[in-house]
A and B are shown apart, each in its own frame.
Chain A
């Protein structure tokens, strides 16, 4: 047994976190910043932070993840990190020549109270920022919120720094995709293109974190939202924010700053959430949904119809981030499955309420928690076993110990490929989730059935 010390008995813990279902803000800010074209994320703290974030993102994507750091020493921690950041900005623009540096803070620089706008202002007046280049920042103290908060904060910083109203509306819609994979961003853009609706997506990590092998390394790859596009978001007809935790603060900031109205939606995972997204997009853009999309929807439904027997009332345990889990739970309930343990490490008031509502009709007692850890999740599973586990790679330790089929879903996925290339959002993404669920469940049937019951046709 790998997690041999995890007791079945659940004792309340007030101060000890065991096997977290979350990580800290800066990594989310780094991921979001990579979704700006020509951007070098910069971690204002000690160099361990950036090393850890780059390593984790690199393992998740198997792609280069470039970023820089202020490399605080003890001296900088005592006297403040201003000179480190000024030096970093100068070095980065001289050596690596990005268009923009996106600085995020860390627990270190936040605890000592470094004033980022002041330092960036100083960099500006002392000529350390070349003409036409930018330095932006987001405050991302690691002791507040989680990685999702960091993503939201950096996304909002893009609005704060760049969005401008040109006085009249441009025929385009902003889509803030939330913390999803490059493949998901591509899928959302494809749907918008099918609806013939011009959009600006930010952040956009497609072609940044799923780049091709060409034999030539580019530090700043093709993808990412451009500065001009970010400026133009202030003149868009409206904003669709997908995933309230990751995207709503940027959407609201756009509304306040540039009077761009926004609609906050769930991440388009599964039938109903995708329906709402497509419907909202069509209404906001004033277009019709083409048959091609309706056909995709029908294909998804067709799989559910055909394979119902394997899905019906199967118990599932889910762990991950709130935006993802809300839509995923809704999807599973909508196809007659029974998500019975749903846990996120991120504290979120709405999460528990939403999940309670979504699972109200599940004919089974449902455990829901926000701001808790994977040890509790494991204990729930021990006390009330399930047919399927869904979560990030760390869940594989639980899956092996408890011998339960497992699908990787969420962040980070450190041991499989696919997430950066194949989406889990919208109808096609729903089909991929279904394929994965069915493979996991049916492989198990094949493994466990007796020779007498073993089936060729399933």
Chain B
């Protein structure tokens, strides 16, 4: 089925009247100052497979060009906002001036259900900050931080507190790790800090790494209780935007698969603490959480593989992969039953929207994974993901993990701590033997692997890393796609151009889009946006035909 679709895509993308992406690339670069053009030429790639059927190399995870108007945010946003934000029962205290805490307060649409943990704690609707003032910048903020932790403890009695460093904290040299350690000893609860100053790294990505390290060092492994369940997995890199994790939980439960912990949608620190008892780590957003997976494998022997629960096809493939991994006929059969139960509704929705969407172009520039995950979803609607790119990904997200050994670590990445992880003397327990692993590889179940986005994109598509506002405008004005996907900052520049814009970070107001019901929601959402009546009204009658046909005689 996929080959047929690829052919269909190829026919459109390689038609004579289709504007060549190479021309567009040239047009973009010609506007830039030479230095910028040189750098950007390595980040704007026409995805044409060469002689060896290899796609070209792309430059990624490099410094943002000042003044270029990038989509990117900072290290703090990746650490506090993305990875730690969705966890409900920890007090996330921002150490810095008020802004950083304020802007990351409830703005990411992470849903959570506190009724699933006995204490019902939920601090997500709160914003905690030390609200640093000038005197702390001059005399240091450690005292205020200490006091703030004490006050948070006195009022809320939380089971865990974490502290996030903002730019000035690093500059004035506050030692958040010493303060949190001291307060942990004093108060007897888990307290730890993150060095996630906004200037670290080149994007949010640095913050993901910092958050992964913090979770691994301070939380994962705190509770050795072994839970009931035949197939126990952790779901990594699923943040429950618009309820995605709920739909995934529903399906996995139906299959008889138990989720020990999700990192970090609908999560509790209690689940994190226990997550090392799972059999398997499933990775959704590879970019933001692969570090935890690798470290858990080294320390506890938990294998991981990449899955994609976005799109019906992706969901089914991933379920089958999990079932194959366990190799248990009962699970294999159950998964097939579930797929058979869920698919009729999906196909009905697909068939409904397809005639209205088939052959239309979609573009998506988000994140470190979703620009890839959503391509399958658009394919299911008959649409073509003609152009895509990530905001903060690395080369392996584009090209696959085989590039890892050749990646150069630059100065901006070097300042993010790389933890040295060893086998846990007591708790290391390889879930599968080397032999079993070989067997699996033979059967096509690839563990510890990610093929990247560019592999799956048809020839002649255009891939842009860290897309700028100018590049966005050039793309949409040249190709007038049926839908463009990015984030809130881009949203209205696209829509003002008369092109529907779907946010794929926060999902606008929609969701869930994961799993089967999610896919149905997404098909309908795109159908609604693309075929909305609003686009018919853009021109007023007098703008359509400005000349008066006749004049009244009395004039």
On A, residues with C-beta under 8 Å from B are 2-5, 7, 11, 13-20, 22-24, 26-27, 42, 45-49, 51-56, 58-59, 62-77, 84-85, 87-92, 94-96, 106-108, 111-112, 141-144, 146, 211, 213-219, 345, 375, 394, 397, 414
CA distance A65 to B488 in the complex (A): 10
Do B66 and A71 have beta carbons less than 8 Å apart?
A: yes
Do B63 and A71 have beta carbons less than 8 Å apart?
A: yes
Do A20 and B102 have beta carbons less than 8 Å apart?
A: yes
Do A22 and B103 have beta carbons less than 8 Å apart?
A: no
CA distance A5 to B133 in the complex (A): 26
Do B488 and A59 have beta carbons less than 8 Å apart?
A: yes
Which chain A residues border B65 with CB–CB below 8 Å?
71, 87, 91
Closest A residue to B497 by beta carbon equals A217
Known interface pairs A49-B198, A62-B492, A73-B202; A55-B103 also in contact (CB < 8 Å): yes
A-B contact pairs, 22 of them (CB 8 A): A5-B123, A17-B127, A20-B101, A27-B99, A46-B167, A47-B70, A48-B76, A48-B77, A48-B100, A48-B198, A55-B103, A58-B488, A66-B469, A72-B167, A73-B412, A91-B66, A95-B31, A108-B167, A108-B199, A111-B137, A143-B97, A215-B496
Q: Is B155 engaged at the interface, CB distance under 8 Å to the other chain?
A: yes
CA distance A389 to B67 in the complex (A): 41
Partner of A88, one of B67, B199, B538: B67
Do B167 and A77 have beta carbons less than 8 Å apart?
A: yes
CA distance A144 to B99 in the complex (A): 11
Binary flags per residue of B460-501, CB closer than 8 Å to A gives 1, else 0: 000000001110010000000000000111011111111000
Q: Is B132 engaged at the interface, CB distance under 8 Å to the other chain?
A: yes
Do A20 and B495 have beta carbons less than 8 Å apart?
A: no
CA distance A292 to B78 in the complex (A): 54
Of B143-151, B247-255, B318-326, B345-353, the one touching chain A? B143-151
Do B122 and A111 have beta carbons less than 8 Å apart?
A: no
In whole Å, how far is B195's beta carbon from the nearest beta carbon of chain A?
Answer: 11
In whole Å, how far is B221's beta carbon from the nearest beta carbon of chain A?
Answer: 27
Do B488 and A16 have beta carbons less than 8 Å apart?
A: no
Which chain A residues border B136 with CB–CB below 8 Å?
143
Which chain A residues border B144 with CB–CB below 8 Å?
15
Q: Is B43 engaged at the interface, CB distance under 8 Å to the other chain?
A: no
Which chain B residues border A4 with CB–CB below 8 Å?
120, 122
Binary flags per residue of B103-124, CB closer than 8 Å to A gives 1, else 0: 1111100000000000011110
Which chain A residues border B172 with CB–CB below 8 Å?
111
A-B contact count, CB below 8 Å? Answer: 264
Do A217 and B105 have beta carbons less than 8 Å apart?
A: no
Q: Is B64 engaged at the interface, CB distance under 8 Å to the other chain?
A: yes
CA distance A71 to B126 in the complex (A): 29
CA distance A302 to B530 in the complex (A): 47
Which chain B residues border A64 with CB–CB below 8 Å?
492-493, 496
Which chain B residues border A56 with CB–CB below 8 Å?
103, 107
Do A108 and B133 have beta carbons less than 8 Å apart?
A: no
In whole Å, how far is A419's beta carbon from the nearest beta carbon of chain B?
Answer: 16
CB-CB nearest 6 A-B residue pairs: A48-B74, A24-B99, A88-B67, A215-B498, A91-B67, A52-B103
Partner of A94, one of B33, B77, B199, B497: B33
CA distance A17 to B148 in the complex (A): 8
Do A215 and B105 have beta carbons less than 8 Å apart?
A: no
In whole Å, how far is A375's beta carbon from the nearest beta carbon of chain B?
Answer: 8
Which chain B residues border A45 with CB–CB below 8 Å?
167, 198
In whole Å, how far is B100's beta carbon from the nearest beta carbon of chain A?
Answer: 7
Do B125 and A2 have beta carbons less than 8 Å apart?
A: yes
How many chain B residues touch the partner (CB < 8 A)?
91
Closest B residue to A24 by beta carbon equals B99
Q: Is B200 engaged at the interface, CB distance under 8 Å to the other chain?
A: yes
Binary flags per residue of B398-409, CB closer than 8 Å to A gives 1, else 0: 000000000000
CA distance A48 to B72 in the complex (A): 7
Do A77 and B199 have beta carbons less than 8 Å apart?
A: yes
Known interface pairs A46-B198, A48-B76, A87-B66; A55-B495 also in contact (CB < 8 Å): no
Q: Is B156 engaged at the interface, CB distance under 8 Å to the other chain?
A: yes
CA distance A214 to B64 in the complex (A): 32
Contacting residues of chain B (514-541) with chain A, CB-CB under 8 angstroms = 534, 538-539
Q: Is B512 engaged at the interface, CB distance under 8 Å to the other chain?
A: no
Which chain A residues border B121 with CB–CB below 8 Å?
5
CA distance A327 to B495 in the complex (A): 36
Do B32 and A94 have beta carbons less than 8 Å apart?
A: yes
Do B167 and A107 have beta carbons less than 8 Å apart?
A: yes
Binary flags per residue of B57-85, CB closer than 8 Å to A gives 1, else 0: 00000011111111111111100000000
Which chain B residues border A48 with CB–CB below 8 Å?
73-77, 100, 198
Partner of B33, one of A11, A53, A91: A91
In whole Å, how far is A119's beta carbon from the nearest beta carbon of chain B?
Answer: 12
CA distance A375 to B168 in the complex (A): 25
Do A111 and B74 have beta carbons less than 8 Å apart?
A: no
Please name 11 further chain A to chain B contacts, defined as beta carbons within 8 Å, in addition to the given A48-B76, A58-B489, sorted by A numbering.
A22-B98, A23-B102, A52-B104, A55-B487, A55-B489, A69-B70, A74-B415, A90-B33, A107-B166, A143-B134, A216-B497
Do A19 and B199 have beta carbons less than 8 Å apart?
A: no
CA distance A87 to B68 in the complex (A): 10
In whole Å, how far is B549's beta carbon from the nearest beta carbon of chain A?
Answer: 24
Which chain A residues border B199 with CB–CB below 8 Å?
46, 72-74, 76-77, 108
Partner of B470, one of A65, A69, A95: A95
- Scoring B98, B104, B123, B126 by chain A CB atoms within 10 A of each residue's CB, the highest score goes to B98
CA distance A2 to B122 in the complex (A): 8
Q: Is B411 engaged at the interface, CB distance under 8 Å to the other chain?
A: yes
Which chain A residues border B201 with CB–CB below 8 Å?
73
Do A213 and B538 have beta carbons less than 8 Å apart?
A: yes
Do B127 and A20 have beta carbons less than 8 Å apart?
A: yes
Do B69 and A68 have beta carbons less than 8 Å apart?
A: yes
In whole Å, how far is B523's beta carbon from the nearest beta carbon of chain A?
Answer: 25
Known interface pairs A62-B492, A142-B98; A68-B67 also in contact (CB < 8 Å): yes
Do A92 and B67 have beta carbons less than 8 Å apart?
A: yes
Q: Is B128 engaged at the interface, CB distance under 8 Å to the other chain?
A: yes
In whole Å, how far is B85's beta carbon from the nearest beta carbon of chain A?
Answer: 13
Partner of A75, one of B101, B102, B411: B411
Which chain B residues border A414 with CB–CB below 8 Å?
107
Do A47 and B489 have beta carbons less than 8 Å apart?
A: no
Which chain A residues border B102 with CB–CB below 8 Å?
20, 22-24
Which chain A residues border B123 with CB–CB below 8 Å?
5
Which chain B residues border A53 with CB–CB below 8 Å?
103
Do B107 and A18 have beta carbons less than 8 Å apart?
A: no
Do A107 and B96 have beta carbons less than 8 Å apart?
A: yes
Which chain B residues border A214 with CB–CB below 8 Å?
496, 498, 538
CA distance A70 to B68 in the complex (A): 9
Partner of A71, one of B70, B76, B152, B473: B70
CA distance A4 to B133 in the complex (A): 29
Do B134 and A141 have beta carbons less than 8 Å apart?
A: yes
Binary flags per residue of B14-36, CB closer than 8 Å to A gives 1, else 0: 00000000000000000111001
Do A18 and B126 have beta carbons less than 8 Å apart?
A: yes
Do B539 and A108 have beta carbons less than 8 Å apart?
A: no
Which chain B residues border A63 with CB–CB below 8 Å?
492
In whole Å, how far is B81's beta carbon from the nearest beta carbon of chain A?
Answer: 9
Closest A residue to B125 by beta carbon equals A2
Partner of B200, one of A49, A65, A74, A219: A74
Do B66 and A111 have beta carbons less than 8 Å apart?
A: no
CA distance A17 to B198 in the complex (A): 21
CA distance A141 to B96 in the complex (A): 12
In whole Å, how far is B34's beta carbon from the nearest beta carbon of chain A?
Answer: 10
Which chain A residues border B171 with CB–CB below 8 Å?
77, 108, 111-112
In whole Å, how far is A379's beta carbon from the nearest beta carbon of chain B?
Answer: 11
Closest B residue to A11 by beta carbon equals B155
In whole Å, how far is B11's beta carbon from the nearest beta carbon of chain A?
Answer: 29
Which chain A residues border B494 with CB–CB below 8 Å?
217
Q: Is B154 engaged at the interface, CB distance under 8 Å to the other chain?
A: yes
Which chain B residues border A142 with CB–CB below 8 Å?
96-99
Which chain A residues border B491 with CB–CB below 8 Å?
58
In whole Å, how far is B163's beta carbon from the nearest beta carbon of chain A?
Answer: 12
Which chain A residues border B70 with CB–CB below 8 Å?
47, 69, 71
